[in-house]
Amino acid sequence: MDSYNTPISDMYFALTSLANIDEFSSNSQNSDVSSENIKLLLEEAGKFAKEKLDNINSKGDHDGIKLENGLVRMPAYFVSAYKSFIESGWFSVVGDKKYGGQDFPWSVLVLINEIWESANMSFAVNNMLTQGAIELIQEHGSQLQKDRNLPKLISGEWSGTMNLTEPHAGSDLSDIKTKAIKENGSYLLKGTKIYITHGDQDMTENIIHMVLAKLPDAPPGNRGISLFLVPKYYKDKKGNKIKNDIKVVSVEHKLGHNASPTCVLSFGENNNCRGELIGDPHLGLKAMFTMMNNARLNVGVQGIAIAERAYQKALSFSKERKQGFSLDTENKEIVKIIDHPDVKRMLMEMKSQIEAMRGLAVITGETIDYSKKFSNTEEGKNYLNLSSLLTPIVKAWCTDQAVQITSLGIQVHGGMGFIEDTGAAQYFRDSRILPIYEGTNGIQALDLLKRKLSLENGKTFKKLLEKIRKDSDLCKNNPLDDIVEMGLILNSSIDSLEIAAKWLVEELNKNPKNAAAGATPFLNMFGWILGGWVMCKSSLNAASDETNNLSDQFYKDKIKTSLFFCTTYLPSASSLLSTVKNSYKTINTII
Amino acid sequence: MDSYNTPISDMYFALTSLANIDEFSSNSQNSDVSSENIKLLLEEAGKFAKEKLDNINSKGDHDGIKLENGLVRMPAYFVSAYKSFIESGWFSVVGDKKYGGQDFPWSVLVLINEIWESANMSFAVNNMLTQGAIELIQEHGSQLQKDRNLPKLISGEWSGTMNLTEPHAGSDLSDIKTKAIKENGSYLLKGTKIYITHGDQDMTENIIHMVLAKLPDAPPGNRGISLFLVPKYYKDKKGNKIKNDIKVVSVEHKLGHNASPTCVLSFGENNNCRGELIGDPHLGLKAMFTMMNNARLNVGVQGIAIAERAYQKALSFSKERKQGFSLDTENKEIVKIIDHPDVKRMLMEMKSQIEAMRGLAVITGETIDYSKKFSNTEEGKNYLNLSSLLTPIVKAWCTDQAVQITSLGIQVHGGMGFIEDTGAAQYFRDSRILPIYEGTNGIQALDLLKRKLSLENGKTFKKLLEKIRKDSDLCKNNPLDDIVEMGLILNSSIDSLEIAAKWLVEELNKNPKNAAAGATPFLNMFGWILGGWVMCKSSLNAASDETNNLSDQFYKDKIKTSLFFCTTYLPSASSLLSTVKNSYKTINTII
C-alpha cells in the first residue's frame, strides 16, 4: 500500500510565494509563524499524519462505527490515535493563546488541516467542527463560557459539534422546530437534529454541542433563531458530573465517511436537556454563519486534501503497474502505465487542479488573517469583503473538483479502481459529501450571486478583477513564452467573467430567477479563472530570480503545470458565459 | 420510494424520428419490428422492469452475493426474478430465429437493454454478457457448437461469460498466461482469470465461459490468442452431467454492482478443465473484439440507463421535498425544490444529456443493423465503418457522463443523497465501473485516434462530418429562432472538431505520443458534438409538420431541451481544441 506524503514543496511555495507568511509574521510580531518554523511544523504534522492517521484510514472505512446502548463506539484504533493526537498538541494550533491555543493564522491552518484531511477525513472532520465551536465561543461566548470551555476544546480533551439541520429544515433553517425555554437561569432544550457529524463518539471526555433553537418569544423566520451551548456532560452545583438528556437516536449508513459518526440526536426527551444561551437571543443564526464562513473554507480544504491523497495513490500505482507498449516504435518492452500519455494527462489534470486549489485556499486564508489583524479599519473591512467573496468559490469549486479528481484517481487504476481493497474508491466515496455539507454548492452559488457580487456595490469584485488583470499583464510581458501564453488566455477569460457578472447583476434586479439559473455555472467559471490566476501568479514567482530553498526543477514544473492548467481549463471556463446567460431560457421545461 | 418508468415517448421518438425503424422493418420484411409493435414491446418490458427488477435493485445492492463452498449464491429474489424473466421470453430478443431467437435489430435492442439496465444493473449485466456469447458462437462457432449452445443461451436457461483479464493482463492481453492443450479431440485449459462478471451464479442451469488462452504453438503477442468455449457443466460420452474443473477462487468486494458477482476463476486446478476451440486457432482475439464492439455499445447503453434512473429519482425527489422560498418576491410560501432555478438547471443537465446519449445510441444501433443487412456490399461496409467510428464514442462519452449525471442525482437530494437508504448513492457507485470495463475510456480514445479516424483513409469521419454539417445548415434555415441558434452553435463546433482531427492525424504520424495526449479530450469533444447533432436533428424533426401519436408538448420540450444542450455544452466542446493540441507540451512534468 502507498502512504501519505505531505506535499511540502508546494505547500511551502504557496505560503511564501502566493501568500507571504513572513511579512504577516513580522507585521504581527509573531515569530512562531515564520516560514522556517512553519515548514518544520508542516513536516512534523505530515509525519504524524502518515504514521498515525493515514495507516488507519482504510481500516476505519471498513470497520465503521457502532451504536451501542445509545452511545457511539469509534474503532479502538481511532480512540488511541486521537489520544496521541492531542498529546502531541496538534489540536491547539487554533485558539487564543490565553486559553492554551497557538492561534496560528488561517493561511497556515488551511495547510495543517489539509494534512489531517488527506490522511484521514473521518478522523479529521472532528477537528474541523471543534475548531468551529472554538471560534463561536471565542467570538460570542461570555467570559464564563470561555473560561469553562475553551481550554478543554483547544487542548482537544473535549470536542464540539454543529447542530443545525432538522428533518424538514436543511438548506433553509428558518422553520426549525427545536425549542429552548428558560428555567432557573439555564435553558431547557427540546427537539431533534439530524446529520450531526461526530454527534457522539468515545474519543473525548465531553462533547459541546452548538445547537440552533427557538425561544418562546422568537420572531418568525431566520431572525428568531438562537444559539445554545449544550454539553454532553455538565456539572451540577455540587460538582457531580451529570449526563445531559441527549440521546443518539441513530447513526446514518452513508456512502462514505464511514468512520465518522453522523447522528440523529434527540435533545430533551425527558424534558431535562440543559443548555446555555450563547450571545444574544434571536441572533444565533448570524453568529453561526460568521463561523460557517470559515468552516466553508475548511470544507474547500477537505476537497483539496482528498484530491491530493487520491493523486498520490494514483501516481504511485502508475509507477508500479506495467501494462501495454509504448507508442514509441523503438521501445518494445511492456511499460509502466505512467509512460502512457493518456495516463500522464489524467495525472496532470489532478496535479494542476490541486495546486491551483491549494494556492487559492492559502490566499483566502491570508485574506482572513489580514481582515482580523486590521479589524475595525477600512483596510480590514476590505480584506473581510475579499475573503467573503472568495469563500463560497473555494468551498464549491474545490469540492466539485474533488469529486472529479477522485474519480480520475479510480480511472488511473483501471479495473482495480473499482475494487474496494485498492483504496481509490474510498476517496471517491468520501469526497461526495463535500459539495453538499456546510451549505450545498448550489447555496454557495446563490450566496456568491446575491450577497458577494454586490459587496461594496460591486467594488470588491471589481478590485479582485483588477488584481487578476494586473497579474495577467505581468504575464504578457514576461520573457518566458509559456508565461506570455498563459497571460493571454487568462486575460481573455477575465473579459468573459466580467460580462457574465454584469449580466447577472442586472438580471438579478429585473428577473432574479433568470439570474439564479446562471449562478452555478458562474461560480464554476469564477473558480476556474481564479485557479488560472493562482497558476499565473505562481509562474511569475517561479520565474523570478528570487532565491529560495527549493530545487530549480520545482519551478520549471510549476510553470509547465500552470500552462497545462491555463490551456486546458480556461478556454472552457470562458465558454461558460453561454451557459450563464442562456440557462434560464430553457430550464422551465423541467416540471 | 419512487419506481422506474420507461421513458417511452423519448424512446419512441428516437426509434422513429432519429432512426427509422419502419423503414428498416419494411426493408427487412420483418413485420415484428414495426414501430407500433416495438412500442408495445417496450411498454411491456418497462412493466416487467418496474415490477420485477427495479423493486429488488436496492435490496440486492444491500444484501450482495455470497460465496459458499466454491459456488456463488445470488439473493433468492434474483433467482426467482430471473426465472420470471426467461419464462416471459425476454431473453430471446436476441439470437437467430432458427435457434429460438427473435433477432431484433440493434436499434431496438439498445432500448430494451436500457430498460433492464435502468431497473437493475447487477441483474442485467448477465444478459449483456450472454448476448455477447450468443453473438460469438453465432459468428464463429461450428454447427455442432451452435446446435448445442444457442437454443439454451437464447432462451436464457444458460448464461455466458467473458474471460479475458488476468492479474497482469488487463488493457493489454498480449501476454496472457492461460494455456490450452489439445487432448483427445477436446482441449484442457489451465490458468486464472480475474474480473469475471457473473463468473458464477445459481440462476441458470449452466454457464458457458468464453475464455481466451494460448495454444502451445501460439505465436507471441496478440496473434497467438485462441478462443475457447468452456462450460461449467458438460456431458460425458455416456450422457452424464459432469462439473468441469473450474473453481471460484474469490469474489471481489466492489464499489458498486454488489449483486453482480465478479469472480476470480481458476481453470484446471486438477488438470481436468475441458473446453472447445471456437473458430480458428490463434484468431481468438479478433473474434472477441468483433463481438466486443457491440458489447461496447451496450456499455454505453448502461451509462444512459443508470443516468436515466438517477434522473427519475432526482426528479421525483425534487417534486416532493419542500425547502426554502421562491426568488419571486410575490411568493412567500415554502416551495418544492424543483421550483428553484438551480435545481431545475441540474435536472435539465441530466435530461438533456440523457436524450442526446439515447439518440446517439439508437442511431449507432441502426448503423449496425444496416451494416448487417447489407453485409458484403459497399453500402454495408460504409455502415460498418460508421458504426465502428461511433462505438468508442458512445462507450466512453456516455459512461463518463453517466458518472457525472449520477453525481448530479446525489446533489439534487442534498444531505439525503449521501445516505445510502435514499438510493441515489447506489447509482453513483454502480456507474463508476462503466468508464473502466470493456476497454477503459482511455483505450476507447486511442482506438478512435489510431484506428477509427483513419477508416477509409479518413473518409468515414469526413462523411459523418458532412452529415452533421448538412443538418446544421438545415437548422440555420429553419423558421424557428431556437433551431437557428442551435444550428449556428453546432456549425462552429464542427469547425473546431475538424481542426482537432486534422492536427491529431498529422501528429499521429510524426509524434504518436503527442497525439495520444490529446486522444481523450478529442473523444469528449466528439461526444458532445455528436450529442449536439442528435439534439439538432431531434429539433428539426420535432418542428416538422409530420403527424404522430405524441403530444405537442413533447416536441416543444424537445426543442427547448436541445437548445439547452447546445448553448450549455457545445461552446465548451469547441474549447477542447486547446486541450487536444496543447496537452502533450506539459504532461511530461509528471514522472
pLDDT tens-digit series, residues B490-502 = 999 999 999 999 9
Does B551 score more than 70 pLDDT?
no
pLDDT tens for B337-346 read 999 999 999 9
CA nearest B453: which of B465, B442, B441? B465
- Fold agreement between A8-158 and A160-286: no
pLDDT tens-digit profile of A223-271? 899 999 999 999 998 999 999 999 999 999 999 999 999 999 999 999 9
Q: Which residue has the higher pLDDT, A346 or B547?
A: A346
For residue B301, give every residue at least 6 positions away whose Cβ sits within 8 Å of its Cβ, in sequence order, or none: B110, B113, B114, B117, B361, B394, B398
- B436 and chain A in contact, CB less than 8 A: yes
Per-residue confidence band for A29, with pLDDT thresholds at 50, 70 and 90: confident
The set of residues, in sequence order, having a beta carbon less than 8 Å from that of B280 and lying 6+ positions away, is none
Cell of B467: 452529415
Nearest residue of chain A to residue B564 (CA atoms): A586
pLDDT at position B171: 81
* Range of lowest pLDDT (A263-277, A318-332, A394-408): A318-332
Q: Distance of CA B110 to CAs B93, B197, B298, B299, B365, Å? A: 11, 20, 7, 10, 7
**Hey, is A219 helix, strand or coil?**
coil
Run of H or E including A213: strand A206-213
CB A490 within 8 A of CB A532: yes
List the one residue out of B296, B242, B264 whose CA is nearest residue B178: B264
Contacts 24+ apart (CB under 8 A), A330-337: A334/B172, A334/B175, A337/A412
Confidence of residue B13 (pLDDT cuts 50, 70, 90): very high
Give the tens place of pLDDT for each residue, A449-495: 999 999 999 999 999 999 999 999 999 999 999 999 999 999 999 99
Residue B547 in this model has a pLDDT that exceeds 60? no
Pick among B316, B342, B567 to test the A interface (most A CBs inside 10 A): B342
**A329 pLDDT more than 80:** no
**CATH number of the domain located at residue range(s) A8-158 in this protein:** 1.10.540.10
**Which grid cell is B306?**
443508470
* pLDDT tens digits for range B288-300: 987 888 899 999 9
pLDDT at A580 over 90: yes
Q: Which numeric CATH code is attached to B8-157?
A: 1.10.540.10
Q: Given this model, what pLDDT does residue A301 score? A: 98
User: Sign of torsion, CA B124 B130 B134 B136?
Assistant: positive
Q: What is the mean pLDDT of residues B347-361?
A: 98
Averaged pLDDT, A199-205 = 98
Nearest CA in chain A to B561: A586
Pairing of strands A206-213, A226-231: antiparallel
Once rounded to an integer, what is the mean pLDDT over residues B41-59? Answer: 98
pLDDT confidence bin for B550, thresholds 50/70/90: low
Tell me: pLDDT of A428 over 90: yes
Q: How far apart are CA A220 and CA B323, in angstroms?
A: 16
CATH code for the domain defined by B160-286: 2.40.110.20
B354 touches chain A (CB under 8 A): no
Q: What are the boundaries of each domain within chain A?
A: 8-158, 160-286, 440-591
How far does the CA of residue A538 sit from the closest CA of chain B (Å)? 16
The three three-digit cell numbers of residue A507, written as one number = 438580471
Instruction: Return the pLDDT at A415.
Output: 96
Q: How far is CA A442 from CA A164, B191, B411, B412, B471, in A?
A: 18, 52, 9, 9, 36
Q: Which residue has the higher pLDDT, B551 or A105?
A: A105
Residues 213-272 of A with CB under 8 A from B: 252-256
Task: List, for residues A73-98, the tens digit of each pLDDT value.
Answer: 999 999 999 999 999 999 999 999 99
pLDDT in tens, B190-242: 999 999 999 999 999 999 999 999 999 999 888 899 999 999 999 998 999 99
- H or E stretch at B235: strand B233-235
Beta pairing class for A158-163 and A71-73: unpaired
Other Cβ atoms within 10 Å of A133 Cβ, number: 25
Return the percentage of chain B with pLDDT > 70, whole number.
98
Q: Considering chain A, what is the average pLDDT of its residues?
A: 95
Residue B406 near residue B306, CB atoms below 8 Å: yes
- What pLDDT does residue B110 have? 97
Q: Using 50, 70 and 90 to split pLDDT, how confident is the model at B29?
A: confident
pLDDT in tens, B123-142: 999 999 999 999 999 999 99
Cα gap A570→A486, rounded to integer Å: 9
A210/A145 Cα distance (integer angstroms): 12
pLDDT of residue A546: 55
Taking Cα atoms as reference points, which of B416, B306, B320, B387 lies closest to residue B353? Answer: B306
- Quick check: B520 pLDDT over 70? yes
Task: Write out the E strands in B116-157.
Answer: none
Note whether A195 contacts B516, CB cutoff 8 Å: no
Which cell is A498 given? 466580467
CB contact under 8 A, B338 and A590: yes
Nearest chain B CA: its distance from A546 CA (Å):
22
Write down the pLDDT at residue B27: 85
Q: Tell me how far apart the alpha carbons of residues A410 and B271 are, in angstroms, rounded to a whole number.
A: 37
CA dihedral A443, A448, A450, A451 (to 10 degrees): 110
Instruction: For residue B549, name the pLDDT band (cuts at 50, 70, 90).
Output: low
Question: Is residue A171 very low, low, confident or very high in pLDDT (cuts 50, 70, 90)?
Answer: confident
Q: Which residues of A touch B560 (CB under 8 A)?
A: 585-586, 588-589
Long-range CB contact pairs, B102-105, < 8 A, 24+? B102/B32, B104/B32, B104/B33, B105/B21, B105/B24, B105/B28, B105/B30, B105/B33, B105/B365, B105/B366, B105/B369
Write the pLDDT tens digit of every residue in A84-142: 999 999 999 999 999 999 999 999 999 999 999 999 999 999 999 999 999 999 999 99
Identify the band that residue A545 occupies on the pLDDT scale cut at 50, 70 and 90.
Answer: low
- Mean pLDDT across chain B: 95
Distance, in angstroms, between A284 CA and closest chain B CA? 19
A68 catalytic? Reply is no
A546 vs B501, residue with greater confidence: B501
Whether pTM exceeds 0.90: yes
Residues of A in contact with B325 (CB under 8 A): 172
Say what the pLDDT of residue A332 is.
76
Determine whether B504 is exposed, middle or buried from the number of CB atoms within 10 Å of its CB (0-12, 13-18, 19+).
buried
Question: What is the reported pLDDT for A549?
Answer: 52
pLDDT confidence of B569, banded at 50, 70, 90?
very high
Residue contact B590–A315, C-beta within 8 A? yes
- Compute the average pLDDT of residues B13-17: 96
The per-residue pLDDT for A32 is 82
Catalytic residue chosen out of the listed positions B135, B166, B438, B507: B438
Report the percentage of chain A scoring pLDDT > 70: 98
Region B318-346: what's the mean pLDDT? 90
- A residues 394-433 near B, CB within 8 Å? 403, 407, 410-411, 414-415, 417-421, 425, 428-429, 432-433
DSSP secondary structure letters along A390-424: HHHHHHHHHHHHHHHHHHHHHHHTGGGGGBGGGSH
Q: Which residues of A touch B428 (CB under 8 A)?
A: 255, 432
Mean pLDDT, range A543-571, rounded to an integer = 85
pLDDT-derived band of residue A333, with 50, 70 and 90 as boundaries?
Answer: confident
A410 CB-near residues (< 8 Å, 6+ apart): A417, A418, A424, A425, A428, B255, B432, B436
Which DSSP symbol is given to B457? Answer: G
Residue A290 reports pLDDT greater than 80: no
- What φ, ψ does residue A177 adopt, rounded to 5°? -105, -15
CB A354 within 8 A of CB A348: no
